[in-house]
Amino acid sequence: MVQLKKTESPRIAENAIYDVVIPAGDGWMYRLEPNQVLRIVDVGGNQAADTMFYDAENPQDHYSVPATITAQSNIFLTLGSVLRAESGKPLLTIIADTCGRHDTLGGSCSAQSNTVRYSRDIEYMHNCRDTFMLQFAKYSGGYAYNKRDLAPNTDFFMNVPVTPQGELEFADGISAPGYYVEFRAECSVMVLLSNCPQLNNPCNAYNPTPLRLLVWNQ
């Protein structure tokens, strides 16, 4: 069994420079500067925060699941994990975590994965890949993000253990209302987040809930 690493943050919400609630099914794109701190709060409990990260100065150098897993010899993200780009460059470090473990392997839901995992007749349902693409379309910065910039993402607050046979299980969550994970940006980082709209997974009782996002300068 994987031991959960948990620690609370000394930061208080009243001192945050940014504080927003993202409803289930909505997305968010935000640039963090070096040493800024981002907290993702699981407001209702067991809600998946599908998230990607990019070197804001070189967006093609995006978050890499293999580079991160290899460097830490652990398939889960937890307290102290360093999230790395394709180049191996550190993007963020987890500095506080009251959930204790986060999935790196399950990826985001899409029209295609929904038909494989659930049923062909739900292909039309909104999904995280759609949310990512919508955020790209709305972005008005200097880099034209597009579907080629999508890569395997991390699912914060999701519990996806690996069986002894090497298969993935989308298990009951280990998060709870108010649990959070907090990151320190190690460089300028673009954050892309989808608050998963998935209505077919029992881990959130078929009831997607909001996420709260806070940013501090340090």
Output the pLDDT for position 108.
63
- pLDDT tops 60 at residue 1: no
DSSP β-ladder status, 37-42 and 27-32: unpaired
Q: Is residue 5 part of a domain?
A: no
Domain hosting 207: range is 25-216
**Of 93, 125, 100, 98, which is closest to residue 112 (Cα–Cα)?**
125
The answer to whether 192 touches 7, Cβ cutoff 8 Å, is: no
Percent of the chain whose pLDDT exceeds 70: 80
Output the pLDDT for position 128.
84
- Which residues are paired to 193 by β-bridges? 28, 51
pTM comes to 0.89
Q: Is residue 15 part of a domain?
A: no
More reliable by pLDDT, 52 or 108: 52
Q: Is residue 53 part of a domain?
A: yes
Q: Is residue 1 part of a domain?
A: no
Three-class secondary structure of residue 135 per DSSP: helix
The total number of structural domains that make up the chain:
1
- pLDDT tops 70 at residue 112: no
Q: Is residue 30 part of a domain?
A: yes
- pLDDT tops 70 at residue 217: yes
Q: Is residue 12 part of a domain?
A: no
SS3 track for 69-113: HHHHCCCCECCCCEEEECCCCEEEEEEEECCCCEECCCCCCCHHH
Q: Is residue 141 part of a domain?
A: yes
Band of residue 183 on the pLDDT scale cut at 50, 70, 90: very high
What confidence tens digit (pLDDT) does each residue in 90-105 have?
999 999 999 999 988 8
Output the pLDDT for position 173.
75
Q: Is residue 92 part of a domain?
A: yes
Output the pLDDT for position 197.
73
* Mean model confidence pLDDT for the chain: 87
Band of residue 83 on the pLDDT scale cut at 50, 70, 90: very high
What confidence tens digit (pLDDT) does each residue in 122-180 have?
545 568 889 999 999 999 988 999 999 999 999 999 877 676 766 666 666 789 999 99
